[in-house]
Structure 1
């Protein structure tokens, strides 16, 4: 069920360069069904800015009705969101979209989780759920530079974790696919979220493997009505186009044309 909830800011902190972690509390959390879903936040109580901002859910605690969001504060909307203080309330619409399912991996198998930049957060709750059911998780997380790295310790507590930076300032140098080419991982299923070029490279590298991709796309309404986030599908799919906000953001490998 999609709710419009008034959620309270419980905590907020900067965890990397322009990267904010914010914990919100509200009844909407009980409606979350899977890792990788997102919420649409009105960052002010006015019509400026007009559009809500889509923010992925990094983790959630249904018992305490709390969820953790991680986002990059770079545009006007997300900078306004980052300026919120503990005790402030936000108009939140969600949970939205179809996320990752832990059911695609079985106990004793190995799952490869590949994240890039602000695509890393949705993989955290997924890793927690996979680990809880006995799946071994290997995380390969890519960032531009050392100052942009976040949640390294949190992921490391769940399983083997590699940090890869484009400029080589920390961890391995290059891109996530470079790291995996140098040191391959024996896995059953991969899950990935990040910029489209990274998703394309990962899908090309593992064409014979079972995988699931979460797409980052500009959105308008967030509920599938405005068609702002439409993507073309590969030939042979049931539909020529899919809407990332409502059909996704998570799709099986090979569905979206990238």
Structure 2
């Protein structure tokens, strides 16, 4: 209490708040609220951008999958019929004449190779072992029997495995199987891409092999002269219940699937040279 005149007591005076301070505090609080709202808006915008980008990526991947599926089925379906008379290529050997031989008959070692021209693992095998196999066959130490399968056509759709195998058999008729076989694997398209389903592509690659492209060869490729033979070869692959392509047997033993003792070009060469002594 405060004393008035004569010592009388005055009623208590309530202290009023500092209005200017209150205004400053109110303005500061408003600024903070606006800043916080701006940050929240930025966060919302960022989330929307992330969702938009994610949706776009999903759409692109979905489109790529569709394109890949269409590519896998873009081969000439009319050429997928393997019925009709079985015409083996010249010099075919083995059971039913379903193997294409390479090398000398007198070689002490025989390599049996099951391949599909669309098979990526087959390309890896060829890229790694091609020079070693060619060296050993040229030296007369190794004979190779190639069996052709159409596994990827069955898995991915399309007709590239069949078309390429038929073209390779046509090349065998011309005595050019080995170099054409190598060109096909060197120029193998991605697995979903059925580029080998186009005969024009196969004929273009044949142009890389001296003397292969003739009217006879082109007719054999375009007419599917060995389609039924390829079909029989693939049937033999299925009946044999092999693990897949490539399957590589050295004198009947599956040497490519041994994970405990993985095959290398050096090991293959050593085994063949040992048998040749």
TM norm. shorter chain > 0.5: no
Structure possessing the higher relative contact order (Cα contacts under 8 Å, 6 or more residues apart)? 2
More strand by proportion, 1 or 2?
1
More helix by proportion, 1 or 2?
2
Question: For the pair shown, which has the larger CA radius of gyration, 1 or 2?
Answer: 2
TM-score bracket, shorter-length normalisation: under 0.3
